[in-house]
Amino acid sequence: NAGVTQTPKFQVLKTGQSMTLQCAQDMNHEYMSWYRQDPGMGLRLIHYSVGAGITDQGEVPNGYNVSRSTTEDFPLRLLSAAPSQTSVYFCASSGGGRMGEQYFGPGTRLTVT
């Protein structure tokens, strides 16, 4: 199993550009989520999904969109990038019925200039 994979590893955007961060898992997990990590603040939940076709907002959803058309994939879209979205983004998944042990991807480091 590859586990949770994320692409790209690094990305530089200009203010106003849009892009999609990719996340995929091969563990047949129902629950997937996106977090951002900023220095000294831990991780904050952006959006999550409890299964294909179901998504919901987390703590900091503004400026981000998600969709879940398959169990395996959970892309995160930045609609119009802003410098405040400079961060490291992590995708995670968990299985085992209700929310179980979380498995994290390697992260995407995004810089918006």
Partner 1 sequence: GIQVEQSPPDLILQEGANSTLRCNFSDSVNNLQWFHQNPWGQLINLFYIPSGTKQNGRLSATTVATERYSLLYISSSQTTDSGVYFCAVEAGYKLSFGAGTTVTVRA
Give CA separation, 90 vs 4, 7, 64, in Å.
Answer: 10, 10, 14
Residue 100 is a binding residue for partner 1 (CB under 8 A): yes
Three-class secondary structure of residue 85 per DSSP: helix
Q: Which two tokens stand for residue 11?
A: 């990305």
Task: Looking at residues 17 to 76 of the shown chain, list those that interact with partner 1 (rule: CB under 8 A).
Answer: 31, 33, 35, 40-45, 48, 50, 56, 58-59
Q: Which is nearer to partner 1, 26 or 56 (CB)?
A: 56
Instruction: Work out which of 5, 99, 111, 113 binds partner 1, going by CB under 8 A.
Output: 99
In this complex, which beta carbon is closest to partner 1, that of residue 31 or of residue 74? 31
Task: Note whether 10 binds partner 1 by CB under 8 A.
Answer: no
Q: Which of 76, 24, 73 is nearest to 45 (CA)?
A: 76
Give the position of tokens 């999904």: 49
Largest Cα–Cα separation, the chain: 41
Comparing CB distances to partner 1, the nearer of 53 and 106 is 106
**Residue whose CB is less far from partner 1, 48 or 74:** 48
- Residue 105 Cβ, how far from partner 1 at the closest point, in Å? 9
Task: Provide the pairing of β-strand 19-25 with 31-37.
Answer: unpaired
- Provide the minimum distance between the beta carbon of 17 and partner 1 in the complex, in angstroms, as a whole number: 24
